[in-house]
Chain A
Amino acid sequence: MYTIIDKIQLTEGIFKMIIKAPHIAKSWKPGQFVVLMVNEIGERIPLTIVDGNTYEETITLIFQVVGKTTALLASKNVGEQIYSIMGPLGKPSEIKRYGKVALIGGGVGAAEILPQARALKQVGNYVISIVGARSSSKLILVEELKSFCDEVHVCTDDGSYGFKGFVSDALSNLIEEGYRIDYVYAVGPVPMMKAVSKVTFKHKIKTVVSANPIMIDGTGMCGVCRVIVGGEIKFACIDGPDFDAHLLDFDTLESRLKTYIKHERKAFEDFMRCQCHG
């Protein structure tokens, strides 16, 4: 079973969990994810693998509470078990020497660029990361990123820390200032990835994003995670989740993500009400 070994709250609504999962710890690579069910009646959700420890046989997941399932996961404590975790799924990211790379993480996306930063640094890239959040109190993992990156740029929407504005603006500024960037990897909310893609398209910089559609089985069986890449239908779970940002249809991705928005809201509200009333 998948026992929770450690749980740390990184900021309001964002949690880091270290979970026993021997076969995933052994075989995962940056860019891959797991599909997780908190309990037997739960839904299956995909979460990016942030780290793994072969010796301890654990994996690290970092997630934001956005609905019932993530709230339920966050309510689990050290020593408790997760019903099902399957992986590692998806194609690993292409880790090679690009030259100067920029990793962009919006919100909890900062967690997902951590393994990218480590791997890309290891093969000799100059690694810049740009992370953003609404305000300084919502920033996560800045110190951890500093230990792997040559430069870490921090943005906040309200200007309470670092650059005031979006990560895509900060990237645009760096390029305008004369930074020659060879490769960009972006993870975060769809509008953020779309904005980054727009900036790099203008400057003809190879850009990869980690698509985050709804998934169920995660093994190419159900087709719910279909995305349009260069006009063709692809399944994010087996053909991705990494795709060329300049070919990915962000609007379809965003619209398909909203399919269950009413259900999700109701389930979340019901869950929070139950929690409050014990």
Chain B
Amino acid sequence: MGNEEKSLREMPQLLPIEERISTFKEVNLGFTEEQVKKEASRCLQCPKAYCMAGCPANVKIPKFINAIRQGNYKRAIEIICETNSLPAVTGRVCQVEMQCEKACILGRKGIPVSIGLLERFVADIALKRGWKRFACDAFNGKRVAVVGSGPAGLTVAGDLIKLGYEVTVFEALHKPGGVLVYGIPEFRLPKNVVEKEIKTLEDSGVKICTNFCVGKSITLKEIFEEGYDAVFLGIGAGAPVVLDVPGVNLGGIYTANEFLVRTVLMKAYLFPKYDTPIDFGKKVIVIGGGNTAVDSARVAVRMGVEEVKIAYRRSVEDMPARREEILRANEEGVKILQLVNPVRFIGDENNHVIKVELVKNQLTYIDETGRSVPVPIEGSNFYVEGDMVILAIGQKANRVFTQTVPQLKLDKEGYIIVDYEAKTSLERVWAGGDIIRGSATVIQAIGDGKRAAASINKTLMSNNI
């Protein structure tokens, strides 16, 4: 009995389903202090910490958990912030089950320590109490420009400001945060949390210039002419893939990017208080199986539509979205149609979508990702009613910046080629995040940012450019 209890981990409080589906309030309420103490006590404090090896941000996990055990939350956040500038964000959106928690030794025999929620707890306390979190060295005379204020760019800014660099972040949109403010919905990542995390960076000296689209408002060449010693490109993947099937330009068909930019960034769900409109239907169909698809479906649920369906070409088990989010979506009433492909969108006399023609897929051989390849079954076509369709089928490289720098080496899909230190083919230019590999996760972008920041520091300090 005792052992069993010890192997069970604490479960976070969740917002009741009835409240969830009618508001945008955060669903996962995190741990109470009591739970934090219990959960922290489960950590074995392994001398060889596998969890750390599983963390792209190299957070000193056993050390910060030990500080929590001693009740020293301030010390815990200091330890986290040595390597991670966005703990309140990563504590919420990291795919911990694929990273640190997957590597946790307790997970081999039972259930791993809930590292993500412990991080979130101390990060939230730090934001609430306004503990100054970054110890910054004196100005070292070097200036670095960061292009894009998403997780990769903010990480570079955080790591370099601590080392005494002057850092300016250029952001094309009117608000900083990149995907954290235009992509991930409020109920998974509250925007005031993102704002506070960014404010901490600004308080530490990071300058953020919004409304600057690098390549358009200012060129890379002009940035160097203004005296910057290095540039980091964290511009995101950015361009939505539009399904190439008949009817895709009908009214009521959104790319997930448009849908999320309207709702998450522009707050169209508050129209007419906010000016950006959105045309919510009664029956919503989301095409895709990643986190973006699940996020879009859950936003739609909160708008009080009659039904929300996710149509995915592979099986539910193969959905790339986080298990936890799929579970929450199910609880909130989202239905999943697996093994289907859209063939055609059908509109009414006003060119507004009313129906989707789908075809059933069967699973065939296993591909290099370890998943069965879906192949359409001829003649299995059927129709599903839907007056709003959201295409969440991935992204491709946005060329708005890269086309302005022809010398920059790209792969055949348009992503920036970098070496193991995140260096691009151009002198003094680094890159990271989705623009080097396509859509990935926040924590991967943070990992890239850390690699780039270390390399920028090494280069600028040794060459004395």
Binding site for B on A (CB under 8 A): 23-24, 27, 37, 40-44, 68-69, 83-89, 216-224, 226, 228, 233, 235, 238, 252, 255-256, 258-260, 263-264, 266-267, 270
Q: How far is the CA of A150 from the CA of B254 in the complex (A)?
A: 45
Q: In the complex, which residues of chain B have a beta carbon less than 8 angstroms from the beta carbon of A224?
A: 254-255, 258
Q: How far is the CA of A221 from the CA of B265 in the complex (A)?
A: 13
Q: How far is the CA of A224 from the CA of B252 in the complex (A)?
A: 11
- Given A85-B211, A223-B240, decide whether A264 and B218 contact each other with a Cβ distance below 8 A: no
- Given A69-B275, A220-B238, A222-B255, decide whether A37 and B174 contact each other with a Cβ distance below 8 A: yes
Closest Cβ–Cβ distance, residue B76 to chain A (whole Å):
35
Q: In the complex, which residues of chain B have a beta carbon less than 8 angstroms from the beta carbon of A264?
A: 277
Q: How far is the CA of A69 from the CA of B276 in the complex (A)?
A: 10
Interface residues of B in 266-305 (CB under 8 A from A): 266-267, 271-277, 279
Question: Which of B172, B210, B242, B255 has most chain A Cβ within 10 Å?
Answer: B172
> Are the C-beta atoms of A255 and B216 separated by less than 8 Å?
no
Q: In the complex, which residues of chain B have a beta carbon less than 8 angstroms from the beta carbon of A40?
A: 174
> Are the C-beta atoms of A86 and B277 separated by less than 8 Å?
no
Looking at chain A's contact residues, is the secondary structure mostly helix, strand, loop, or mixed? mixed
Binding site for A on B (CB under 8 A): 172-174, 182, 210-213, 216-219, 236, 238-240, 242, 244, 248-249, 251-252, 254-255, 257-258, 261-262, 266-267, 271-277, 279, 351, 398-400
Q: How far is the CA of A217 from the CA of B216 in the complex (A)?
A: 13
Q: Return 30 A-B CB contacts under 8 Å, by A number.
A: A27-B217, A37-B174, A41-B273, A41-B275, A43-B266, A44-B266, A68-B275, A84-B211, A86-B213, A87-B217, A88-B217, A89-B213, A216-B262, A217-B172, A217-B182, A218-B213, A219-B213, A221-B182, A221-B238, A222-B257, A223-B242, A223-B257, A226-B242, A233-B244, A255-B251, A255-B351, A258-B251, A263-B272, A266-B272, A267-B275
Q: In the complex, which residues of chain B have a beta carbon less than 8 angstroms from the beta carbon of A217?
A: 172-173, 182, 261
Closest Cβ–Cβ distance, residue B30 to chain A (whole Å):
29
Q: How far is the CA of A42 from the CA of B275 in the complex (A)?
A: 5
Closest Cβ–Cβ distance, residue A190 to chain B (whole Å):
14
Q: In the complex, which residues of chain A have a beta carbon less than 8 angstroms from the beta carbon of B238?
A: 219-221
Q: In the complex, which residues of chain B have a beta carbon less than 8 angstroms from the beta carbon of A220?
A: 238-239, 398-400
Q: In the complex, which residues of chain B have a beta carbon less than 8 angstroms from the beta carbon of A267?
A: 271-272, 275, 277
Interface residue from B216, B272, B400 paired with A27 (Cβ < 8 Å): B216
- Given A23-B212, A86-B172, A86-B217, decide whether A228 and B249 contact each other with a Cβ distance below 8 A: yes
Question: Which of B213, B248, B398 has most chain A Cβ within 10 Å?
Answer: B213
Interface residue from B210, B211, B249, B261 paired with A221 (Cβ < 8 Å): B261
Q: In the complex, which residues of chain B have a beta carbon less than 8 angstroms from the beta carbon of A86?
A: 172-174, 211-213, 217
Q: How far is the CA of A238 from the CA of B238 in the complex (A)?
A: 12
Interface residue from A24, A84, A235, A238 paired with B210 (Cβ < 8 Å): A84
Q: In the complex, which residues of chain A have a beta carbon less than 8 angstroms from the beta carbon of B217?
A: 23-24, 27, 86-88
Interface residue from B174, B219, B242, B254 paired with A84 (Cβ < 8 Å): B174
> Are the C-beta atoms of B174 and A221 separated by less than 8 Å?
no
- Given A222-B240, A226-B242, decide whether A88 and B216 contact each other with a Cβ distance below 8 A: yes
Closest Cβ–Cβ distance, residue A270 to chain B (whole Å):
6
Q: In the complex, which residues of chain B have a beta carbon less than 8 angstroms from the beta carbon of A89?
A: 213, 216
Closest Cβ–Cβ distance, residue A65 to chain B (whole Å):
15
Closest to B352 in A: A259
Q: In the complex, which residues of chain B have a beta carbon less than 8 angstroms from the beta carbon of A233?
A: 242, 244, 248-249
Known: A86-B211, A233-B249, A259-B251. 6 other contacts (CB 8 A): A37-B174, A43-B274, A68-B275, A219-B172, A223-B258, A255-B351
- Given A221-B398, A255-B351, decide whether A43 and B172 contact each other with a Cβ distance below 8 A: no
- Given A68-B275, A226-B249, decide whether A216 and B258 contact each other with a Cβ distance below 8 A: yes
Closest to B210 in A: A84
Q: In the complex, which residues of chain B have a beta carbon less than 8 angstroms from the beta carbon of A252?
A: 249
Q: How far is the CA of A218 from the CA of B213 in the complex (A)?
A: 10
Closest to B171 in A: A86
Interface residue from A41, A85, A219 paired with B398 (Cβ < 8 Å): A219
Q: How far is the CA of A27 from the CA of B238 in the complex (A)?
A: 24
Q: In the complex, which residues of chain A have a beta carbon less than 8 angstroms from the beta carbon of B398?
A: 219-221, 238
Q: In the complex, which residues of chain A have a beta carbon less than 8 angstroms from the beta carbon of B255?
A: 222-224
Closest to B243 in A: A233
Closest Cβ–Cβ distance, residue A27 to chain B (whole Å):
7
Interface residue from B239, B251, B261 paired with A216 (Cβ < 8 Å): B261
Closest to B391 in A: A223
Q: How far is the CA of A88 from the CA of B400 in the complex (A)?
A: 12
Q: In the complex, which residues of chain A have a beta carbon less than 8 angstroms from the beta carbon of B249?
A: 226, 228, 233, 252, 256
Question: Which of B216, B219, B267, B273 has most chain A Cβ within 10 Å?
Answer: B216
Among all A-B residue pairs, the 6 with the closest Cβ atoms: A263-B277, A84-B174, A223-B255, A43-B275, A222-B258, A223-B240
